[in-house]
Amino acid sequence: MSILECNNLIAKYGDFQALFGIDFHLDEGETVAIIGSNGAGKSTFLKSITGLISVDTTSIKLNNKDIGGVEADEIAKLGISMVPEGRKLFPSLTVEENLLIGKESQREGKWTLEKIYEIFPILKERRLSPGTALSGGQQQMVAIGRGLMSNPKVLLCDEISLGLAPVIVKDIYAIFPEIKKEGISIVIVEQDINQALKVSDRVYCFQEGKVSLQGKPSDLTHDEISQAYFGV
């Protein structure tokens, strides 16, 4: 059953149209990757779901309930959590304080500070350090932890790998199967195709605001993905 569904989603910035009728679904417990080059519309898609951009009110459904037009903080309370591009931590707050911000829209569930520290032990060691004192990888862990603190049904992750060394990206991606095991449905927006495909059940490729390809990673060839990604 789909937990999140979009039909013919259209998004605009003023007169500029960024998304041209996206059909998308995320099943319960599924991990889906959205790949595509710069400007393909991936972030706009996530912003549309989280209420940061206004869209047609009938085009987005969470658990079959229309959520188009719902304010961003309400969306979080309904169970959609976003790990934003660029982490967006509060630099002067400690690791723990940054994590606790995710509690503001907390729903009932298993995710607590202790559980976040279990999956990211380094954050426990550094819990009193300010955000600015952390490495990029540690900051990304805090951003993911903060997203989990609200006990979401759906976790949306925007460009987790941006600016991180490959070995760090690999470590961070290793956590996704753990999160999936807890029953959370996950959307991973990525330019790092290989990492995203490794942990995903299905993939959508966006090109110029449209879905250019979708399927299970194992059913798609390298050439099909390149063509859908680059349009060549």
Asked whether position 13 contacts ligand ATP by CB under 6 A, the answer is yes
Of the residues 6, 26, 32, 44, which one makes contact with ligand ATP according to CB under 6 A: 44
Alpha-carbon distance of 63 to 65, in angstroms, equals 5
Site string for ligand ATP, 155-194 (x = CB under 6 A): ------------------------------------x---
* Strands lying side by side in the sheet with 65-66: 16-27, 2-13, 60-62, 65-66
Strands (DSSP E) along the chain, which ranges?
A: 2-13, 16-27, 31-35, 60-62, 65-66, 80-83, 154-158, 185-190, 202-207, 210-215
Six token digits for residue 196: 């995203």
- Minimum Å gap between C-beta 212 and ligand ATP is 12
Asked whether position 18 contacts ligand ATP by CB under 6 A, the answer is yes
Site string for ligand ATP, 78-117 (x = CB under 6 A): ----------------------------------------
Six token digits for residue 89: 């931590």
Of the residues 22, 40, 82, 188, which one makes contact with ligand ATP according to CB under 6 A: 40
List residues near ligand ATP by CB under 6 A.
13, 16, 18, 36, 38-44, 191
